[in-house]
């Protein structure tokens, strides 16, 4: 028996810089993680299978193409897995990819094996390599370019999702321009949360406008987060519909998440420490 945490992935920036001939999009993204997430447990005494539990288990089936099972098969695993689901499904914070990465780490550790090759990992999904890192990185290419980013300040995030699942392929299809400017070649230093927020304000999530066109409630979520006291920046993560707010103060972040949850109890709203 073993357990592995699968933290939420947050795209602080997400620049779409091109599209390959095979249809895959090229990205340039500053990625961090949050100390909220799912949990994967393995029981080696039972054959390969998957049970999904937790408050966000509804609507997620333990089918053969589930990323957890695909990751287990890639590792040659023959154990039963339990996915304790806390993150919203199809929400732009890497839930499925984080679960797959946690499965890879867990099975590799238990079997004393090396992790699969990068090309095998990215075949599971573009976000799986970055989720396998589980720390602040600059992600480029189709998700296979991973460069660690050091010395990010301690910060807090407020995450909110309105309960609307957004299709990533649909968002990319709505994207008007596929070749956009990347982030600066050399990232500046981020001595404080304020300097990080100032840098992020000059960057983008290119998928936010098409996602809002498909799910206008995303704009409402972002506006509500931005209105909270202490919020330095609000933006959508990934392809949506989860939005995040960047905070310097833990109490302000927790108060903000509670205020959003009170006003919209049907939304998922949490405060989390940024993992960098």
The catalytic residues are 9, 127
Contact call for residues 225 and 271 (beta carbons, < 8 A): no
Question: Which tokens in the block code for residue 90?
Answer: 């199809």
Q: Which CA distances in Å does 57 have to 89, 90, 165, 180, 251? A: 9, 12, 14, 37, 29
Helix (H, G, I), strand (E, B) or coil at 9: strand
Q: In degrees, to the nearest 5, what angle opens at C-alpha 56 toward C-alphas 268 and 207? A: 55
Contact call for residues 8 and 134 (beta carbons, < 8 A): no
The DSSP code sequence of 19-60 is: E-TTSPEEEEEEEEEEEEEEEEEEETTS-SEEEEESTT-TT-
């Amino acid at each position: 028996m073993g357990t592995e945490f699968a933290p939420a992935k947050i795209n602080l920036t997400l620049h779409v810089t091109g599209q390959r001939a095979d249809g895959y999009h090229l990205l340039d993204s500053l990625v961090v993680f949050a100390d909220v997430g799912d949990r994967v447990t393995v029981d080696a005494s039972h054959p390969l299978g998957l049970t999904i539990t937790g408050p966000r288990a509804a609507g997620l089936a333990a089918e053969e193409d589930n990323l957890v099972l695909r990751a287990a098969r890639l590792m040659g695993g023959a154990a039963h897995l339990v996915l304790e689901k806390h993150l919203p499904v199809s929400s732009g914070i890497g839930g499925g990819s984080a679960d797959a990465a946690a499965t890879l780490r867990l099975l590799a550790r238990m079997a004393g094996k090396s992790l699969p090759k990068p090309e095998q990992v990215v075949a599971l999904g573009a976000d799986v390599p970055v989720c396998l890192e589980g720390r602040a990185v600059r992600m480029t290419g189709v998700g296979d370019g991973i460069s660690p980013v050091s010395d990010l300040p301690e910060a807090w995030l407020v995450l909110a999702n309105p309960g609307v699942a957004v299709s990533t392929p649909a968002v990319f299809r709505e994207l008007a321009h596929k070749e956009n400017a990347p982030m600066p070649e050399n990232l500046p230093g981020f001595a404080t949360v304020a300097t990080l927020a100032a840098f992020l304000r000059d960057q983008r999530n290119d998928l936010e406008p098409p996602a809002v066109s498909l799910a206008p409630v995303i704009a409402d979520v972002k506006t509500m987060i931005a209105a909270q006291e202490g919020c330095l920046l609000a933006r959508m993560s990934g392809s949506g519909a989860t939005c995040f707010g960047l905070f310097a103060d833990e109490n302000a972040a927790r108060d903000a998440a509670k205020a959003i949850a009170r006003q919209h109890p049907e939304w998922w709203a949490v405060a989390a420490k940024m993992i960098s």
